């Protein structure tokens, strides 16, 4: 049974060799010359400022999710326009599109009502109310 897969074995060995051979050749032949200037981060020649791993505000996550609302809306408007091109009942087609847009827009309204569109003020106010 193992021999039935000899083609796969040859394929695997060839694939591994095709990757490993150039890498080993490169290690053997390339000049290695390391010094601090070369090892420092590339910042277009400037002195690097701060650390590469910085923290992002979690509120960017909310903004990104809100962006998805508009993205879905636009992405699904194109097939809607294509499908209902030359429709027999244009008002019905328009109504269907508006209903869809309204349903998706409700998500934005909910975020708006909860104050997620405000960056700082709402959080402070809520905290004060809770305190």
* Chain residues that interact with other proteins, rule: CB under 8 A: 27-35, 37-38, 40, 42, 44-46
Contact 71, 40 (CB under 8 A): no
CB of 41 to other proteins, least distance (A): 9
CB of 53 to other proteins, least distance (A): 19
CB of 20 to other proteins, least distance (A): 16
For other proteins, the closer CB: 45 or 91: 45
Element holding 112 (H helix, E strand): helix 90-114
- Backbone Cα Rg of the chain: 29
For other proteins, the closer CB: 35 or 60: 35
CB of 40 to other proteins, least distance (A): 7
Rounded Cα distance, 99 and 63, in Å:
24
For other proteins, the closer CB: 36 or 79: 36
For 118-130, give the secondary structure using H, E and C. CCCHHHHHHHHHH
For other proteins, the closer CB: 23 or 129: 23
User: Please, which residues have CB within 8 angstroms of residue 111's CB and are 6 or more apart in sequence?
Assistant: 62, 66, 117
């Amino acid at each position: 049974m193992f021999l039935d897969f000899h083609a796969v074995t040859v394929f695997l060995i060839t694939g591994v060799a095709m990757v490993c051979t150039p890498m080993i050749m490169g290690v053997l032949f390339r000049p290695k010359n390391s010094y601090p200037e070369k090892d420092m981060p590339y910042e277009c020649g400037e002195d690097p400022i701060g650390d590469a791993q910085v923290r992002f505000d979690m509120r960017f996550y909310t903004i990104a999710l809100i962006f998805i609302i508009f993205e879905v809306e636009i992405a699904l408007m194109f097939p809607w326009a294509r499908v209902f091109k030359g429709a027999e009942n244009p008002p019905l087609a328009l109504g269907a599109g508006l209903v869809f847009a309204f349903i998706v827009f409700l998500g934005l309204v909910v975020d708006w009502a909860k104050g997620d569109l405000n960056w700082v003020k709402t959080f402070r106010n809520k905290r004060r109310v809770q305190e």
